[in-house]
Amino acid sequence: MLASAALSATGLSALAACASNASSSTPSASGSSEGNFPSHPKWKFVFVNHVTTNAFFTPTRYGIEDACALLGCTYQWVGSETSKVSEMVDTMNAAISAKADGIAVALIDPTAFNAPTEAALSAGIPVLSYNADVPTNSPNKRLAYIGQDLYQSGLQVGQHILSLVPSGDVVGFIATPGSLNIQPRIDGIHDAIKNSGKPINFSEIATGAAVNDELAAVEAYYLGHKNVKGMFAVDGGSTQSVGQIMEKYELASKGIHGGGYDLQPITLSEISKGNLDFTVDQQPYLQGFLPVVQLFLYKLSGGLSQPSSTNTGLLFVTKSNVQAYLKTQTRFEGSSDKELVVGK
Inter-residue contact 30 to 86 (CB < 8 Å): no
Q: What is the rounded CA–CA span in Å between residue 235 and residue 160?
A: 16
Beta carbons within 10 angstroms of residue 232's beta carbon: 28
DSSP calls for 119-185: HHHHTT--EEEESS---TT-----S-EEE--HHHHHHHHHHHHHHH--SEEEEEEESSTT-TTTHHH
Contacts of 15 (CB under 8 A, 6+ apart): 70, 293
- Alpha-carbon torsion 133, 7, 261, 70, what sign? negative
DSSP calls for 214-277: HHHHHHHHHHH-TT-SEEEESSHHHHHHHHHHHHHTT-GGGT-EEE-SS--HHHHHHHHHTS-S
pLDDT in tens, the chain (344 residues): 343 333 333 333 333 333 333 333 333 445 666 778 999 999 999 999 999 998 899 999 999 999 999 999 999 999 999 999 999 999 999 999 999 999 999 999 999 999 999 999 999 999 999 999 999 999 999 999 999 999 999 999 999 999 999 999 999 999 999 999 999 999 999 999 999 999 999 999 999 988 899 999 999 999 999 999 999 999 999 999 999 999 999 999 999 999 999 999 999 999 999 999 999 999 999 999 999 999 999 999 999 999 999 999 999 999 999 999 999 999 999 999 999 998 76
Whole-model pTM above 0.75?
yes
Residue-range domains of the chain with CATH: 44-147+283-311 (3.40.50.2300), 150-281 (3.40.50.2300)
Phi, psi of 169 (to 5 degrees): -85, 130
